[in-house]
Structure 1
Amino acid sequence: MPDTANGMPPDRRPPDRRPLHRLPPAHRPSDSVVRQAIVWWAKLQSGVADLRDQESCSAWLAEDPAHRLAWDRLQAIGQDARRVPSALAHTALNAPASRGRRAALRGMLSIAGVAVTGWAGYRHAPWQRLVADFSTDVGERRSLALADGLRVTLNSDTAVRVNVSGNARNIDLLRGEMLVAAELRPGIEALRVDTGYGELRAERARFDLRRTALGSRVGVYEGSVALLRHGVLTHVNAGERLAYADDAETRRGASDPDRLAWVDGMVVAKEWRLDDFAEYLARQRVGVIRVDPAVASLRLSGVFPLDDAERALKALEPALPITVTRHTQYWLQVGPREI
Structure 2
Amino acid sequence: MSAPRQSDDDVFEQAVAWHRALARDDADWDAYMSWLDQDPAHRVAFDEVALLDRMIEDHAPSLQREEDAGVADHAPQNTRKPLWIGGSIAAALAAAIALPMLTKTPADMVYHAAAQSRSITLAGDTRVTLAPRSSLVVQAGDPTRLRLAAGEAYFAVPHVAGRTLSIRAGDYDVRDIGTKFSVNLTPSFLTVAVAEGNVSVQPHTGNAAAVPAGKQLLAERGRGRARLSTVVASDVASWRRGRLVYADAPLDVVVADLSRYTGKRVSVDQRLRNRKFSGVLAIANGPGMFRDLAELMSISSRPDGAGVRFIPVGER
Query: Which range, TM-score by smaller chain?
Result: 0.5 to 0.7
Contact 1:242 1:250 in 2 (8 A): no
**Is residue 24 of structure 1 aligned with residue 57 of structure 2?**
no
Relative to structure 1, the CA distance from residue 265 to residue 203 in structure 2 (aligned partners, 3 Å threshold; closer, same or farther) is same
Output the TM-score relative to the length of structure 2. Answer: 0.56
Match of residue 146, structure 1, among 106, 113, 122:
122
- Same amino acid, percent of matched pairs: 21
**Is residue 156 of structure 1 aligned with residue 132 of structure 2?**
yes
Relative to structure 1, the CA distance from residue 296 to residue 175 in structure 2 (aligned partners, 3 Å threshold; closer, same or farther) is closer
Deviation at 1:245, TM superposition (A): 6.7
Relative to structure 1, the CA distance from residue 309 to residue 200 in structure 2 (aligned partners, 3 Å threshold; closer, same or farther) is same
Contact 2:153 2:184 in 1 (8 A): yes
**Residue number in structure 1 paired with 2:26:** none
Deviation at 1:134, TM superposition (A): 0.5
Residue type matched to 1:217 in 2?
T
Contact 2:194 2:236 in 1 (8 A): no
Deviation at 1:153, TM superposition (A): 1.1
Contact 1:310 1:332 in 2 (8 A): no
Contact 1:291 1:333 in 2 (8 A): yes
**CA–CA distance in structure 2, aligned partners of residues 271 and 215 of structure 1:** 14
Secondary structure (helix, strand or coil) at the match of 1:314 reads: helix
Secondary structure (helix, strand or coil) at the match of 1:220 reads: strand
Structure 1 stretches lacking a partner, 5+ long: 29-58, 70-130
The 5-angstrom pairing of residues 1-339 of structure 1 reads 11-12=9-10, 14=12, 15=15, 16-18=45-47, 22-25=51-54, 65=94, 67=96, 132-137=109-114, 139-162=115-138, 169-185=144-160, 189-214=163-188, 216-228=190-202, 229-230=204-205, 232-244=207-219, 247-249=222-224, 251-257=226-232, 258=235, 260-270=237-247, 277-289=254-266, 301-315=278-292, 330-332=306-308, 336=313
Kindly tell me the number of residue pairs found equivalent between the two proteins.
238
Deviation at 1:181, TM superposition (A): 1.0
Relative to structure 1, the CA distance from residue 203 to residue 269 in structure 2 (aligned partners, 3 Å threshold; closer, same or farther) is closer
Relative to structure 1, the CA distance from residue 278 to residue 133 in structure 2 (aligned partners, 3 Å threshold; closer, same or farther) is closer
**CA–CA distance in structure 2, aligned partners of residues 200 and 285 of structure 1:** 28
Secondary structure (helix, strand or coil) at the match of 2:167 reads: strand
Deviation at 1:183, TM superposition (A): 0.9
Contact 1:27 1:65 in 2 (8 A): no
**CA–CA distance in structure 2, aligned partners of residues 255 and 218 of structure 1:** 12
**CA–CA distance in structure 1, aligned partners of residues 297 and 148 of structure 2:** 37
Residue type matched to 1:169 in 2?
T
Contact 1:21 1:162 in 2 (8 A): no
Residue type matched to 1:154 in 2?
L
Secondary structure (helix, strand or coil) at the match of 2:182 reads: strand
Cα deviations by residue, 1:105-147 (Å, 9 ceiling, x for unpaired): xxxxxxxxxxxxxxxxxxxxxxxxxx7521112x421122223
Deviation at 1:176, TM superposition (A): 1.7
Output the TM-score relative to the length of structure 1. Answer: 0.53
Q: State the structure with bigger RCO (CA 8 A, min sep 6), 1 or 2.
A: 1
**Residue number in structure 2 paired with 1:87:** none
**CA–CA distance in structure 2, aligned partners of residues 181 and 193 of structure 1:** 13
Secondary structure (helix, strand or coil) at the match of 1:23 reads: helix
Contact 2:109 2:141 in 1 (8 A): no
Contact 1:240 1:252 in 2 (8 A): no
Contact 2:127 2:157 in 1 (8 A): yes
What RMSD over aligned residues (CA atoms) do the two structures have, in Å?
4.5
**Residue number in structure 2 paired with 1:120:** none
Contact 2:180 2:195 in 1 (8 A): yes
Deviation at 1:271, TM superposition (A): 5.8
**CA–CA distance in structure 2, aligned partners of residues 207 and 311 of structure 1:** 28
Structure 2 stretches lacking a partner, 5+ long: 16-44, 58-87, 99-107
Deviation at 1:240, TM superposition (A): 3.1
**CA–CA distance in structure 1, aligned partners of residues 205 and 271 of structure 2:** 42
Deviation at 1:169, TM superposition (A): 2.4
Contact 1:200 1:227 in 2 (8 A): yes
Relative to structure 1, the CA distance from residue 214 to residue 264 in structure 2 (aligned partners, 3 Å threshold; closer, same or farther) is same
Deviation at 1:152, TM superposition (A): 1.0
Contact 1:179 1:207 in 2 (8 A): yes
**CA–CA distance in structure 1, aligned partners of residues 209 and 283 of structure 2:** 33
Relative to structure 1, the CA distance from residue 295 to residue 199 in structure 2 (aligned partners, 3 Å threshold; closer, same or farther) is closer
Residue type matched to 2:52 in 1?
L
